[in-house]
Each structure stands twice: as C-alpha cells, then as structure tokens.
Amino acid sequence: MAKRAYGQFCGLVRALELVGERWTLIIVRDLLVGPKRFSDLLRGLPRIPTNILSARLKELEQAGIVHRRVLPRPSGSVVYELTQYGNELEDIVLRLGRWGARLLTKPGPEEIVTVDSMIMAMRSTFRPKEARGLDVSYELRLGEIVIHMSIKNGRLTVAEGALPDADLVIKTGPGIKALMTGEVSPAKAIANGSVRLSGDSRLLSRFVDTFHI
Amino acid sequence: MAKRAYGQFCGLVRALELVGERWTLIIVRDLLVGPKRFSDLLRGLPRIPTNILSARLKELEQAGIVHRRVLPRPSGSVVYELTQYGNELEDIVLRLGRWGARLLTKPGPEEIVTVDSMIMAMRSTFRPKEARGLDVSYELRLGEIVIHMSIKNGRLTVAEGALPDADLVIKTGPGIKALMTGEVSPAKAIANGSVRLSGDSRLLSRFVDTFHI
DNA sequence: CTGGATCCCTCACGATACTG
DNA sequence: CAGTATCGTGAGGGATCCAG
C-alpha cells in the first residue's frame, strides 16, 4: 500500500486520495472552465510551484481524471482537459465553493481574484429556477477581469472576455458581493457607486435574482 | 497572511483552507454520524497520530465547524460535535464519497472498513425516491461491523449496532458491493452465498432498490 | 482509563534554478 | 513554452509520556 494512504476502504477516502492533496481541487476548478496549457494553469495559480503543478497533473492523469492531449501541428502544444470522470467533480466543486464563500468577507492583502475563480463563482451562484426560459447576457468587469454570462433559454454559459452585444455591462469591484448576497439592493449599489452600468440598467435586478449567494 | 494560504479570494479556496488538509474531511465524516469523544475518533481513524487529530479538532473548532462540549458530571468527558455550519458539509461529503466509490474495487491488504464509513456509505447510497412512503428496517452485518437502517415513512436513519426487530437481517462481506451496484442480482447473491439472510428474505430486492450505487 | 502534549524523524511540499 | 533538477523547510507520522 502507498505510504501516505489512509488505510480505509471507503469512497470518501478514495476520493481524498485522488483529489485531496494540496492544490489538486483548485487545478480541477480551473480545468472545469476549459482545457488549458501548463502555462495557462500557472497563470491562474500564481503561487503554485511548477514542480507541484507538474506532479499534480501527473497524478490526475494517472487517476483518469485529467487527459493530456497534444494539439495537432503546427502548434504541437499540450493541453490538459478533464475526462468524463473528472468533469463529474463539477457539482462538488461548486458546492464546496458555495460553502466556503459564506465566510468570504474582504479580500486579504495578498489575496487575488482570478478569471477562473470568478467564472466558477458565477456558475456556482446561478439559480436555474430563476432563469427558466430567460434570454439575456451580461458582461462583468472586475478590475482587470472581464467575463461574460450568456443565458439562452434558461441555460447558462460563462466565459472569459468581453461580450460586445451584452444586454448589460456591469463594472464593479469587491462590492459585487454585497449586491449578490442581497445585503445591498440594486438601487443602493448604483447609488453608492459600487456598480456602474451601461446598457439596460433595469436588468441589474434580474441579474441579482439570477446570480444569488 | 498565513504561510500556507493559497492566496486567492475564492469560495473554493476558502473551503480548502478550512477542510482541505489531510484527515480533516474524514474526521468530519465520522462526526456527521454523531458527536464523538477524542478516543472514539481515534478508534475510527486507526492511522491518525494523536497530535494530528488534536490539531485538526482545534482548527475545526476555531473555524466554527466543530464545537467542543464538556459533558455534565459525573462523566465530565469531552465530546466534539459539528456545528450547524459543519453539518452543511454532509451533502458534499456524501457526494465525494459516491464519486470516489466508483473506483473502489476490492479492499487493499491493509484497508479496513470502519463503522462510520459504513454508516455514511449507506446514507450516501440511499435513494429517497425509491423509499417514498416506505416503512422497513434492516440490520446489516459485515464481519465485526453491525449497523442498522430504519426507514419510517420514507425517512432514513442509520446507526451503529443491532436492531432486534429488524424486518431483514443481512449478513454479508465484501460481496455486498456487487449486490448494491447491480452487478449481481439479489437471487444470485443469495445463491452464491455472498449474503445470508434472516427475516423476510423477499425484502432483499427492496433493499437493493433503496440503497443503490 | 480518557484526553491529550512532547519529541524526533522523515518525506512531501515549496522556492529557485535550469534544460529540451 | 513546458516542464525537470536540486535542495531546504516544515507538516505529517509514530512512539512515548503526562495530567486529570
């Protein structure tokens, strides 16, 4: 038996042996957004040493959670993508994120927000029931970070980058959280300047209903 | 900022800072079964060093996930129990367990099954829809381990120990898994001796429908 | 006995430098 | 760009010890 195994025959224990090590689930979080190259992952995980990233990717590949794929010429580069089995972690990652988000107050002095964490945050706060049948799109800007959410017939896709024909563009900062938890009403958030809008600003309250912590 | 922090402002990252360390979620698994004393936890986690258990309990208490309670006299002993916030991990732990159980084949040479892992396994495989309106009880014996499941009006409780008036007593071994996944039919399982029953043996197929991997 | 604290050793993790 | 090599450090592991 492996030296650091827990020694129990149990589904949870097996899961932790696969994805319970430091950094592993954060790597999975980023891969849930889409396939990524080694350097893409490094960019999204500024504190991870390269050898650790390397080791984790190898473990994940061996466990059948991640697939290492060499892109066709001319790029010839390598991307890592989740397998079917790895993708089944999405719901767990989203739930863990919601659970942890409860005691997320202010960003610490050294804490950053990454594009992928923001994308997953929007996915995790999405409430399908409120979005049933909806067709609407948002662009969200948080400092350097620009992502967009597109809801088509109630189905959500979130991705990096701008969305030129978004129905509403929301320019904001850390204050977005108070808006999404309901601590601050949309009207208040506009009034106190924690969000700035362009487009159909009446859509902000719909946004808050759809993406709610 | 703490030295081993991930440096990201993200719900998942915060969750991993709280329960992402080695052993932590397994401790939570056992506490989800019920309040426990230090030595109870040690018994269920044979490989954990006492200093690690001690450290984890302190971290969990500080994070508001576990509450340390001194029992009234005469025992005066200490129990650890999950707070409301800690209890909200139940769904995540059950899902992680199901996810990991998929590549749980045979117990390794040094791998044991504990009472609490078995209780949580039964909870995680329970299918409320199949049990709607049901009233039935089972006693399950796996080697030394004896637990019982009681379903009353479709609601499940699982606990350690025998249940004298159980409708069906299932005496089994590792073969139980093949039965619960559907690899082996109830009739076959009886025939090949991987389960031995006492009570109303026709209830075995209902058991398999209700607890299914 | 329970509920830990202490000690020491080892190895996984982490920072940095380096290579195909 | 996509990792490997090297090496120091501190968290984890195991045994033992101690107080109530």
Q: How far is B83 from chain A (nearest CA, A)?
A: 14
The dihedrals phi and psi of A98, each to the nearest 5 degrees, come to -65, -40
pLDDT (0 to 100) of residue B3: 63
What are B161's two structure tokens? 């120990």
**B191 contact A CB<8A:** no
Closest chain B residue to A97, measured at CA? B12
Q: How far is the CA of A179 from the C1' of C19 (A)?
A: 49
pLDDT (0 to 100) of residue B5: 86
Neighbours of B193 (CB within 10 A): 10
What are B149's two structure tokens? 């499941």
pLDDT (0 to 100) of residue A132: 96
pLDDT (0 to 100) of residue B77: 84
SS3 of A52, please? helix
What mean pLDDT comes out for the span A197-211?
97
Range with the lowest mean pLDDT among A28-37, A106-115, B85-94?
Answer: A106-115
Higher pLDDT, B150 or B106: B150
**pLDDT tier for residue B1 given thresholds of 50, 70 and 90:** very low
pLDDT (0 to 100) of residue A1: 44
- For A82-91, give one letter per residue: b (16+ CB within 10 A) or e: beebbeebbe
Rounded distance, CA B171 to CA B145, Å?
Answer: 10
Angle between helices B115-125 and A11-19 (to 10 degrees): 90
Question: Which residue's entry shows tokens 């329960």?
Answer: B19
Reported as a single tens digit per residue, the pLDDT across A79-112 is: 999 999 999 999 999 999 999 999 998 888 889 9
What mean pLDDT comes out for the span B93-109?
92
Strand C neighbours among A 26-65, CB < 7 A: 47-52, 55
- For B19-44, give one letter per residue: b (16+ CB within 10 A) or e: bbbebbbbbbbbbbbeebebebbeeb
